[in-house]
Structure 1
Amino acid sequence: MSEIVSELSGVIRRFGAKTVLDGIDLTIRKGEFIALLGHSGCGKSTLLRIVGGLDDEAEGSVRTVPETAVAFQEPRLFPWRSVLENVSLGLRLPDPEARAREVLEEVGLGDRATAWPRELSGGQRQRVALARALVRDPSLLLLDEPFSALDALTRLTAQDLVRRLIAAHGPAVLMVTHDVEEALLLADRVLVMADGGFVHDERLDLPQPRRRDDPEIVRRRAHLLGLLGVIQEDRSA
């Protein structure tokens, strides 16, 4: 697949009589960060699961590199294992714990390696989940609304952390989100889903880090919200 880490062609996914994905074509290339936007139920998470090989009932062609990791909305940590054990579990390296400690340092949790998941805050548990996904140096990282359960301040910190981690590790990323601003701050390509397909495909050739008050971000945010049918208040009055 050379520069392509995932390629979908004519993908259809039905749940009973309902067609959620109707002929999806998508190519994800090395280093690309794609954000998926759309209303609840439009098929974003279904598409992500298909890309990640977690749903084998889709029709069409799906090819994804095996070096793929997923971080979900819920951290899904094993409560009976320590933070270090959660991150190093299944890691096939001469010294898996050393590698796990290295990535825990990257996410700011080097001092919590021996802690139990119940002893961590929501933001810390999500950072452990990110460490577990990145510890294998995946070619493709799938993020399914990884920040939606966090409070506003923790979410901002987590977004900045992800931006820095992606820059350091360099995987391609497919992220499902409901947050238009989040998509604009992190991604270099935004896809809007509706009616079983993509209704908008936008490239973001903007330098990182990005500012929420940047006029270009504000303009694009208004455009995407309009596509999603969100009416903004007129604050000029």
Structure 2
Amino acid sequence: MTHGTGAQGEYRERPSRLPGAAMWTRTPAPGPGATRPVLPDGCMDLLWTEGRLFVAGPDTRAHLPGAAGTAGRHVGIRFHPGTAPAILGVPAHELRDRRVDLADLWTATRVRRLTACVDSARDPVAALEDLALDRAADTGPPDPFLAEVVRLLDAGRSVAATAAALGVDARRLHRRSLPAFGYGPKTLARMLRLQRALALARTGLPYAATATAAGFADQAHLARDVKELTGRSLTALLGAP
């Protein structure tokens, strides 16, 4: 379980019973404070805050929470890349860089009932997880093709090598990727590489070694990509509370 506290409040995370997913909660600290960006990771989330269920689409840049209506405790399930569209019933590219009420995707009556269930639950985290598990049971297992795309790209394979390993051409891989991930495989690879670099850097690995291990050309390439995707330097991200 991941657990953090600081000026921005408390964040907790644990693995979900839904394979590949994670459950998380964020409770803001009282009073004003800096806002930690939500960094792009190739994932989509289903979120609850009292009286509202909504979906965070796949991001291509850092998202800054804190807009009107986003205060208060948030609970979310972060789906493994490529799995949310089947569960939610919407292509990922339609939600790219967006936050959308679940009532815009499902019937309003159904969403009101589900929202009331989570609102009234003693444990909203478990209630949201049960909602996702029920929906996943209705939609069947994840597509193994998509899981293999993620595995190969996250291992540092090029788009061309990934397509070849899967027995498709680059154009078909791109077509399959858009509705599943929200963008093409080249962009997905970039998001996964960013997350690899952040994980390595958080262990204290020097930036030059982090760049090499994560698949960047050099430290300067790492610095540019982090800045373009997050709006912050790697040092600032690592020092965020």
TM range (shorter): under 0.3
Name whichever structure is richer in strand by fraction.
1
Q: Which has the higher contact order (CA 8 A, sep 6+)?
A: 1
